[in-house]
Structure 1
Amino acid sequence: MRKAPGVTRWVKWSWKAIAVLPGAADADWKRLRSDGDVTEYHAATKELWLYVSDTEAYAHEFGTETPSIYIVLRPSKASGDGQLDVMHVTVSPYEAQDYCDSGEEIVEKVAMPPAVHAWVQDFVEKYHVEEPFVKRRRNKQRVDRKDDGIGDRRIAQATDVYRAPVTQPREAAE
């Protein structure tokens, strides 16, 4: 993670995920380097899991111009300077999109290192099975000829079919 001075007066610091370190040891905000006000940290060490059910997503990611790893971040409750906690790491663009949809997390896209690229590509080649597209066929039943679904069948009157049903004694209903 890179911490740099904010560009507006409302944000004191700007945080950005800049790289992934494959095979790194455990770290908890270990400072790697500083250059003036800009500081780079090894924020966290997370495991990257691959699933056979997600091979289509991984293959889709390899079709992009720059295959990436997605880092899911959440604002830290412990720090008041806008620091972000690393919650999850994934290579699946579909999973990253799910995190984006919630609006609670920030998803950063980082270029995939060559070692991770080779590992994921081997996994996809070994387990991915291309599924043929099957077009769904429509039911040819004509539904425009009936007036089913209007009103409620429990209403005895035909004049006001949109009226709510009234509970009637059993003898009166027969």
Structure 2
Amino acid sequence: MTGMDDQPKIDVPRTVSMPVGVILRVTPGVTRWQAEVWSLAGVIPFAPPAAWRVLREAGDVAEWHAATLALELHRSDTDSLVQNLAASDVPSVWVALRGAGRPEPHRVTASPFEASFNEIDGEDRVEKVAMPPAMQEWVKAFVVAHHEDVPFVKRRRDRREEGDAQNGIGDARIRQGADVWRTPKSLRTRK
């Protein structure tokens, strides 16, 4: 994690929350079966509460402050936040939208791992947008305070003797001559 290790650790709670405004853009549809197209246009960090307030209109295109949702960061999710901040060219925010037609925003996250769990069916979708600089600094401060690099350790198999395995499956009182679950050592001792 280059660049974030040299910053001093500050006292930050284990879980923090930020109100995030979700901006949806509506444009005219290109076919007669779809009158309008709704898409994610952006997010507003530290946004006031709002429910479907028009922000801007230009001809047939309008942008709405659809909802204000809580973006929560948990101490156990810092690996995914590091992935978002350091590994990607542009850090992102993911918004889960529910419903066909005019979608309803129902979740916002900065974790790419958590975003992949939100798509449930054909009417639900997850869209991403670039994370604003103020939100990047807030997430970075949380990561600096809580992230601990845990090195990957590959588990090694235990060495066992060939005959130490279970001597077959099923009732031991019933002769099982053709049992495929017998160990090679037990088959040799029966002859």
TM-score range, shorter chain: 0.7 to 0.9
Partner of 2:13: none
Q: Provide the rounded CA distance (Å) in 2 between the counterparts of 1:127 and 1:107.
A: 27
**Normalised TM-score (structure 2):** 0.72
Give yes or no for the alignment of 1:57 onto 2:80. Answer: yes
Query: What is the number of residues matched between the two proteins?
Result: 155
Q: Which moved more, 1:141-150 or 1:123-132?
A: 141-150
**What is the CA distance between 1:51 and its match in structure 2?**
0.7
RMSD across aligned positions (CA): 2.5
Contact 2:168 2:179 in 1 (8 A): no
1:137 maps to a residue whose letter is R
Contact 1:70 1:107 in 2 (8 A): yes
Contact 1:155 1:161 in 2 (8 A): no
SS of alignment partner, residue 21 of structure 1: strand
2:146 maps to a residue whose letter is Y
**Normalised TM-score (structure 1):** 0.78
Relative contact order (C-alpha < 8 Å, sep 6+): which is higher? 2
Identity of aligned residues (%): 40
Q: Provide the rounded CA distance (Å) in 2 between the counterparts of 1:149 and 1:38.
A: 71
Distance 1:157 1:73, change over 3 A: same
Q: Provide the rounded CA distance (Å) in 2 between the counterparts of 1:50 and 1:17.
A: 21
2:105 maps to a residue whose letter is V
SS of alignment partner, residue 139 of structure 1: coil
Give yes or no for the alignment of 1:92 onto 2:115. Answer: no
Aligned ranges 1:15-164 → 2 under 5 Å: 15-62=38-85, 63-75=87-99, 82-100=101-119, 102-103=120-121, 105-141=124-160, 149=168, 152-153=170-171, 156=174, 158=176
Unpaired runs of 5+ residues, structure 1, are 77-81, 163-174
SS of alignment partner, residue 54 of structure 1: helix
